[in-house]
């Protein structure tokens, strides 16, 4: 029997005593340990009536057991449905109603809110805490620690990940065994991961970055991961000497740069730092190199497509760009039904084995974004330079049209960020009675810096065309971000919606 993704990720490590998950206290779980753990859990899923194709929803803290649950779902032929730990019971209720899981796993602290998030569902609810305790592992303890993975082919679903959806309902991206396997294979090769690698893993595992990009790659390569429940700059620094590589979101890098002891002595030996999930400022890229001698490798992907582009492993990692389409990924930049002329800005479309199967039970949404010939309309605006490096200029929905002119927020943000005293900025469009949308900059000051709106507006006067200049500047201490480091522009637009009386 074959099980496309599980066989490729874990098949070669059967019985291997090599370290797989290294915990901060120095203890490690081997590949064989995780194999036994996931076998017990897979047997439990089957005993609970989870059949191939059924969904298993999990809103749990990161732990070795949580990763084993993902593997158990693959083994049992179930579809893993991880949920952001920040979701409220009301939000969970939507996912449970939409995905109709056959089993739900939550933190023991949430068990008392069962009625709020299970709604009409009669599925069993089990618990798993960040320390591995709870009814899930209690029940699994009695199960056999070997299991033959259920037959699953490349087109069968392995996971559904709900997009972070800032407007409307979030959509469940259906990812097949082939989608996940093809991307893991490409990335192991492209980023040169081997069994000698030890990855600092401080990302959450309810998201594509920590679960698929990081964990799938490391399993495929046979390497080890230093398994951290969350990112803490000091802890990451203390463990860095044991690591060869780290995958991060941009905030990991800015927080490391905030630490005075973070330098070449500490980071110089690392083989690879990657960044993604949100734009890495060119300035951060340069500051990181100046401090450590390391050039961060930035890549670009999304829940629906896995990874699409990457800066090269060898060759120039160009700051501010996301590099080239990965092998096997076709990419085009489209405007008004045609590819843009060189240097033009348009929407990225991608096609390849990495692209998802559509949105769960949303055929209309799927048809809007996934063309019948396989091209997926990402909604990200980008341009490619003459060498083929792709630069993301923002989400399509963040584009501002003011007085009939297109304003690309990133361009304005870069100019603002270069002003003295500015930490970072978010440029948004708000309803404006004359211009349709008015450009507004929300600017975070550097700690201790004096910053006022008038000085910023003055500082931009001869640096940007008038229609791009913010009509209002709002100075704040920090920008709102989600756990993946993405600035929450929709929240900012909502908060300031009435600024121009619109
Ligand atoms: P998610 O589905 O949560 O992974 O979010 C995907 C979105 O994150 C993409 O559509 C991009 O808008 C953004 N994103 C991911 N990587 C990058 C990057 N390196 N630079 C800029 N934006 C990125």
149/45 same-domain check: yes
The DSSP code for 470 is -
- Helix, strand and coil percent figures for the chain, each rounded to 5: 35, 25, 40
CATH number of the domain enclosing 265: 3.40.50.12780
**CB of 410 shorter than 6 A to ligand 1:** no
200/75 same-domain check: no
Phi, psi of 332 (to 5 degrees): -140, 155
- Res 502: pLDDT: 58
Q: How far is the CA of 258 from the centre of ligand 1 (A)?
A: 24
203/350 same-domain check: yes
The answer to whether residue 502 is domain-embedded is no
- Structurally, the chain folds into a number of domains equal to 3
**Domain ranges, residue 363:** 190-395
- Res 55: pLDDT: 98
The answer to whether residue 66 is domain-embedded is yes
- Segment 9-52, tens digit of pLDDT: 999 999 999 999 999 999 999 999 999 999 999 999 999 999 99
Contact (CB, 8 A) for 100 and 78: no
324/464 same-domain check: no
**CB of 346 shorter than 6 A to ligand 1:** no
Q: Is the pLDDT of residue 179 over 70?
A: yes
Closest CA to 33 of 8, 4, 64: 64
**Which of 348, 367, 395 lies at the terminal end of a domain, its last residue?**
395
**Which of 395, 415, 447 lies at the terminal end of a domain, its last residue?**
395
The β-bridge relationship of strands 172-176 and 157-162 is antiparallel
Calpha distance 248→250 (Å, rounded): 6
**Which of 395, 430, 445 lies at the terminal end of a domain, its last residue?**
395
Instruction: Among 276, 381, 391, 410, say which to mutate for ligand 1: greatest number of ligand atoms within 8 Å of CB.
Output: 276
**CB of 277 shorter than 6 A to ligand 1:** yes
The answer to whether residue 298 is domain-embedded is yes
404/347 same-domain check: no
- Which residue CA neighbors atom 1 of ligand 1 most closely? 302
Q: How confident is the model at residue 86 (pLDDT cuts 50, 70, 90)?
A: confident
103/199 same-domain check: no
**CB of 300 shorter than 6 A to ligand 1:** yes
243/358 same-domain check: yes
364/413 same-domain check: no
- Which residue CA neighbors atom 6 of ligand 1 most closely? 302
319/206 same-domain check: yes
CATH number of the domain enclosing 461: 3.30.300.30
- Segment 286-312, tens digit of pLDDT: 999 999 999 999 999 999 999 999 999
Q: Is the pLDDT of residue 166 over 70?
A: no
Query: Does the model's pTM come out above 0.75?
Result: yes
442/425 same-domain check: yes
Q: Is the pLDDT of residue 164 over 90?
A: no
Which of 258-272, 359-373, 424-438 is the least confident region? 424-438
335/246 same-domain check: yes
The answer to whether residue 331 is domain-embedded is yes
Calpha distance 344→340 (Å, rounded): 5
**CB of 248 shorter than 6 A to ligand 1:** no
**CB of 208 shorter than 6 A to ligand 1:** yes
- Segment 111-121, tens digit of pLDDT: 999 999 999 99
**CB of 247 shorter than 6 A to ligand 1:** no
**CB of 85 shorter than 6 A to ligand 1:** no
The answer to whether residue 182 is domain-embedded is no
Tokens representing 300?
């670009």
The answer to whether residue 501 is domain-embedded is no
The answer to whether residue 243 is domain-embedded is yes
Calpha distance 195→218 (Å, rounded): 8
**CB of 210 shorter than 6 A to ligand 1:** no
- Res 318: pLDDT: 98
229/310 same-domain check: yes
Q: How far is the CA of 173 from the centre of ligand 1 (A)?
A: 15
CA 182 to chain centre: 18
The β-bridge relationship of strands 224-227 and 198-201 is parallel
The answer to whether residue 160 is domain-embedded is no
């Amino acid at each position: 029997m074959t099980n496309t993704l599980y066989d490729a990720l874990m098949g070669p490590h059967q019985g291997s005593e090599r370290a797989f998950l290294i915990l901060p206290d120095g203890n490690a779980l081997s590949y064989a340990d995780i194999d036994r753990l996931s076998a017990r859990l897979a047997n439990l899923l089957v005993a609970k009536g989870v059949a191939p194709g059924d969904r298993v929803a999990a809103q749990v803290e990161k732990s070795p057991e949580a990763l084993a649950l993902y593997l158990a779902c693959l083994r049992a032929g179930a579809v893993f449905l991880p949920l952001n730990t920040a979701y409220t019971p009301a939000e969970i209720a939507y996912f449970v109603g939409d995905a109709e899981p056959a089993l739900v796993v939550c933190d023991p602290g949430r068990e008392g809110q069962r009625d709020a998030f299970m709604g009409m569902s009669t599925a069993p609810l089990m618990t798993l805490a960040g320390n591995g305790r709870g009814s899930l592992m209690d029940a699994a303890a009695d199960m056999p620690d070997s299991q033959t993975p259920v037959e699953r082919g490349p087109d069968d679903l392995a996971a559904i990940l709900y997009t972070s959806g800032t407007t409307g309902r979030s959509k469940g991206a259906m990812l097949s065994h082939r989608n996940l396997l093809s991307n893991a294979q490409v990335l192991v090769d492209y980023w040169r991961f081997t069994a000698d690698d030890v990855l600092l893993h401080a990302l959450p595992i309810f998201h594509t970055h920590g679960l698929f990009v990081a964990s799938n790659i490391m399993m495929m390569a046979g390497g080890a991961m230093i398994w951290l429940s969350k990112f803490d700059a000091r802890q990451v620094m203390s463990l860095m000497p044991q690591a060869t590589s780290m995958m991060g979101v941009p905030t990991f890098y800015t927080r490391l740069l905030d630490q005075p002891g973070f330098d070449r002595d500490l980071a110089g030996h690392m083989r690879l730092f990657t960044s993604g999930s949100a734009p890495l400022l060119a300035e951060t890229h340069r500051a990181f190199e100046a401090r450590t001698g390391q050039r961060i490798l930035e890549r670009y992907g999304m829940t629906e497509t896995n990874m699409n582009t990457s800066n090269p492993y060898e060759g120039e990692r160009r700051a501010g760009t996301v590099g080239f389409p990965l092998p096997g990924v076709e990419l085009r930049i489209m405007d008004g039904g045609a590819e843009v002329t060189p240097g033009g800005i348009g929407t990225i479309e991608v096609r390849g084995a990495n692209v998802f199967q559509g949105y769960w039970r949303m055929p209309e949404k799927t048809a809007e974004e996934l063309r019948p010939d396989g091209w997926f309309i990402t909604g990200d605006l980008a341009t490619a330079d003459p060498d083929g490096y792709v630069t993301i200029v923002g989400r399509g929905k963040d584009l501002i049209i003011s007085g009939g002119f297109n304003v690309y927020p990133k361009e304005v943000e870069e100019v603002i960020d270069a002003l003295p005293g500015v930490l970072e900025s978010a440029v948004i469009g708000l309803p404006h009675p004359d211009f349709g949308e008015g450009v507004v900059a929300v600017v975070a000051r550097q700690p201790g810096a004096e910053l006022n709106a008038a000085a910023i507006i003055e500082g931009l006067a001869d640096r940007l065309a008038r229609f791009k200049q913010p009509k209002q500047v709002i100075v704040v201490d920090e920008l709102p971000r989600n756990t993946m480091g993405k600035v929450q522009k929709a929240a900012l637009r909502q908060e300031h919606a009435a600024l121009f009386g619109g």
